[in-house]
Structure 1
Amino acid sequence: METDFAGLTLEEEEYEILQIQTDAGTNGDVEILQLVGCFLTASIVHFPVMRSTMANLWHPVRGVQIRDLGEKRYFFQFFHLIDLERVIKGSP
């Protein structure tokens, strides 16, 4: 199993373009507090459990919305800059 992941690095860039559907009524002046993340596991990720666990770990000030993009990729919408910065700086 270790040999399967030997060439995998977190710094490795993906060249695939990922398009996210946004609401047509959003204002251009609003801060973009969004991330796309993925899980590097061969196991199945149970979306409702993951969503609940991540929200409990992060304790977002104004909440977080998490959408399943498929292929173990997830869209995270934050509603406060502090929440986004905390996650980027190394929160689980």
Structure 2
Amino acid sequence: MEEELANLNLLDDEEEAFQEEIAVVDRNYQFCLVGRCLTDSVVHFPSLRNTIADLWHPIGGICITDLGGKRYLFQFFNDVDVQMVVAGTPWFFNNHLIILQRVRKGEHPLDLALTFTNFWVQVHELPSGLMTKAMAKRFGD
């Protein structure tokens, strides 16, 4: 059996089919997010992929690709799933913030800065005299 597997090859037409699928994925970022974990540590990609796929559980499925440089491409197959993930931010993996950004038409995933994300901060026991827009701006900055 090992000899049979060692001699296993793809036919030329099968190889071409795989190359065409890769080209389509490379050009179509319509329902894609690019992300990275905010950490200097090594991120175990298979764990990230399995955890995120189970956590988000998108209706149309998800394809998660390691782009290198601690960047990941999250490809969805409909806008509802993308909106659900974006609306649920912030997301974390192993207690590390995941910075996500939607890929716009004409953008390349490796060109995105991935330097900010939005999230809520709740402040307790703030004296009522300090509940102003200016104070909120200072907290936000």
Task: Give 1:52 shift.
Answer: 0.4
Task: Give 1:71 shift.
Answer: 1.4
Closer/same/farther in 2, CA of residues 88 and 52 from structure 1, 3 Å limit: same
Partner SS state of residue 59, structure 2: coil
| Bigger Cα Rg | 2
* 1:33 paired residue number: 31
Task: Give 1:82 shift.
Answer: 1.1
* 1:9 paired residue number: none
Q: How far apart are the structure 2 equivalents of 1:34 and 1:40?
A: 19
Q: How far apart are the structure 1 equivalents of 2:25 and 2:52?
A: 28
1:44-70 residue CA offsets vs partner (Å, 9 max, x unmatched): 100111000000110110110011011
Which of residues 64, 68, 73 in structure 2 aligns to 1:66?
64
Which of residues 72, 82, 85 in structure 2 aligns to 1:84?
82
Q: How far apart are the structure 2 equivalents of 1:52 and 1:25?
A: 20
| Consecutive unaligned residues in structure 1, runs of 5 or more | 1-21
Closer/same/farther in 2, CA of residues 51 and 23 from structure 1, 3 Å limit: same
Partner SS state of residue 66, structure 2: strand
Which of residues 44, 68, 75 in structure 1 aligns to 2:42?
44
1:26-49 residue CA offsets vs partner (Å, 9 max, x unmatched): 9xxx88101111111121100111
| Consecutive unaligned residues in structure 2, runs of 5 or more | 1-21, 92-141
Same amino acid, percent of matched pairs: 47
CA RMSD of aligned residues (A): 2.5
Closer/same/farther in 2, CA of residues 25 and 49 from structure 1, 3 Å limit: closer
Q: How far apart are the structure 2 equivalents of 1:65 and 1:25?
A: 10
Closer/same/farther in 2, CA of residues 40 and 79 from structure 1, 3 Å limit: same
Higher helix share: 2
Task: Give 1:24 shift.
Answer: 4.6
Q: How far apart are the structure 2 equivalents of 1:58 and 1:25?
A: 21
Which of residues 52, 55, 60 in structure 1 aligns to 2:53?
55
Closer/same/farther in 2, CA of residues 40 and 62 from structure 1, 3 Å limit: same
